[in-house]
Amino acid sequence: MAVFKVKWHWIAGGACALLFIVLLTIRLGFFESEQEKQTKGTDDTVPRIVAYRDRETWMNISQNGRKIGHAHRHFSRTEKGYRVVESVFMRINTMGVVQGLTFKTEGNLHSDMSLSSFDFVLRSSLFHFKVRGMMDGKKLTLYTEMPGSEKKSVMVLRETPHLSTGMIESADVAGMKPGEKKIFSVFDPSSMGQRPVTLAMIGEEALTAMGRTQTARKVAVNFMGVRQFAWIGEDGDVLKEQGILGITLEQVAKHEALSGFDLAASADLTEIASVPSNVIIDDPGALSSMKVRITNIEKASFYLDGERQSFRKNVLLVQKETIPMRPLRSTNVAGNMAYLASTPFVQSDHWKIRAKVQEIISPEDPVAVKASKLVSWVHKNVEKRPVLSIPNAVETLANLVGDCNEHAVLLAALARAAGIPAQVEAGLVYQRGRFYYHAWNVLYLGTWITADAVMGQMPADVTHLRFVRGEADQQIDLIGVIGNVRIKVLDKSR
């Protein structure tokens, strides 16, 4: 497949992780709690009875001092536990394009604040994502909305889950002492992934909010190595939250939250999250190998070593693959059956996906030819535009618009429907002096071969540095990389 230089606006650096980290920065926000403690006698071992009052909160969302949105939160008691509702609106700049993004989370919680059920909806300019789920023990039944239909799936979770919303109540922050930590398992509806979150009480600070200066307790929230902070006021209200990428939430009155948007574009999240390169690479597609030093991350958490990549002592060597020349009519999928299966985001069994595959390829085509035709079709037919969404293949096929995320899920679905095991990879890719977050594919053609439908490459050039392999629930691991990782190019060969 021909290699050519890619226009800057074709790079959709984010690989889902940028969107997830924005959502988590907001939704790891907390509902304030006022606790009424009742004890019998003076024995500290006697359990406390803790009650929470109904409350409503409005927050301004800003990025580096510029308002980009607002959050509205409501917390209430029910007969069986608690209910949390959070609505968020933001204007986010990615690759120079400012887009509106709204999402709403409704959660029903048990009396111990663990998750009972939820509804999550996300809307942007072109895409709509909706999922609802119900817990039964550790089994979570999910219903994901697709255009004109709904897909059911079941997950067995490792730990009893909590929603990110409501963490302060779950932790009983008022009872935590400086230096004390608590760990919770959080389920994220946008990625359908579960990860541990650590809350740690730091201490007290003076903070002014809504015209009043008071002593606030500062809590650190550690998610995948990323630290966020919240300040809890004297009456239990959350006064301020601070995440990464310059995003901050502050409690305000309703009228202030709903007004005062800065019409100028906010900072480009894609640019902020990118990693500078120490060298200029003129023609990445012409390279046969590249060696880089990777530092400042927890390497054990990522898939850096394997297949075309080898990782030793912080040095990553990437070697360009060779597409198998033998004219295989089909691949031996033993051990790879999972990568032919339909999933909530890669709906390879949908009739529209299967019909499109029949249009693009011939049953008589060798496997490598089928793969090449599919990569070429996605590259030529999907308009390259940054999109804020939870990407899925069916909706991408309907809209034929998207960034790297949409290209990757659509190619994965088409390949699987064609009998070619396919996965999504995500990490960094070089472009104009920096490494940007990006998503692409790996296809099984007798051996795993990378493919980038955004760039029209198979195999992908060696500046594609894989950190994770998998769909949205795996890509959230990139959150531990963003803002931390350092890359130094040591060698590049043609």
pLDDT digits (tens, 9 = 90+) for 249-261: 899 999 999 988 7
pLDDT of residue 306: 94
Q: Looking at the 3D structure of the chain, how many domains does it have?
A: 2
- What distances in angstroms separate CA 201 from CA 97, 111, 112, 196, 225, one per listed residue? 38, 23, 21, 17, 16
How far apart are the C-alpha atoms of 78 and 299, rounded to whole Å? Answer: 44
> Is the pLDDT assigned to residue 50 strictly greater than 50?
no
Q: How is residue 302 annotated by DSSP?
A: S
pLDDT of residue 482: 82
Single residue among 269, 288, 314 that ends a domain in this structure? 269
* CA angle, residues 351, 352, 355, in degrees to nearest 5: 85
Residue 242, exposed/middle/buried by CB under 10 A (0-12, 13-18, 19+)? middle
| Nearest CA-CA partner of 435 in 274, 309, 263, 245 | 274
Residues 71 and 213 in one domain: yes
> Is the pLDDT assigned to residue 244 strictly greater than 70?
yes
Residues 346 and 210 in one domain: no
Residues 262 and 320 in one domain: no
pLDDT of residue 277: 96
Query: What is the domain-level CATH number for residue 435?
Result: 3.10.620.30
Residues 298 and 257 in one domain: no
pLDDT of residue 92: 79
pLDDT digits (tens, 9 = 90+) for 334-346: 788 899 999 888 9
Residue 49 and residue 111 in contact, taking contact as beta carbons nearer than 8 Å: no
> Is the pLDDT assigned to residue 333 strictly greater than 90?
no
Q: Is the pTM of this model over 0.85?
A: no
Phi, psi angles (nearest 5°) of residue 171:
-85, -15
| Nearest CA-CA partner of 483 in 246, 175, 308, 306 | 246
How much of the chain is helix, strand and coil, in % rounded to 5? 20, 45, 40
How far apart are the C-alpha atoms of 34 and 39, rounded to whole Å? Answer: 16
348 part of a folded domain? yes
pLDDT of residue 30: 45
333 part of a folded domain? yes
Residues 344 and 225 in one domain: no
Residue 387 and residue 407 in contact, taking contact as beta carbons nearer than 8 Å: no
3 part of a folded domain? no
**Which residues have CB under 8 Å from 102's CB, separation 6+?**
87, 88, 89, 90, 122, 123, 124
Residues 258 and 398 in one domain: no
pLDDT digits (tens, 9 = 90+) for 371-429: 999 999 999 999 988 877 778 899 899 999 888 889 999 999 999 999 999 999 999 99
39 part of a folded domain? no
Residues 320 and 257 in one domain: no
Residue 319 and residue 288 in contact, taking contact as beta carbons nearer than 8 Å: yes
pLDDT of residue 20: 56
For residue 311, what are the domain limits? 8-15+275-493
Q: What is the DSSP string of 111-145?
A: TTS-EEEEEEEEE-SS-EEEEEEEEETTEEEEEEE
What is the rounded average pLDDT of the residues 75-83?
Answer: 90
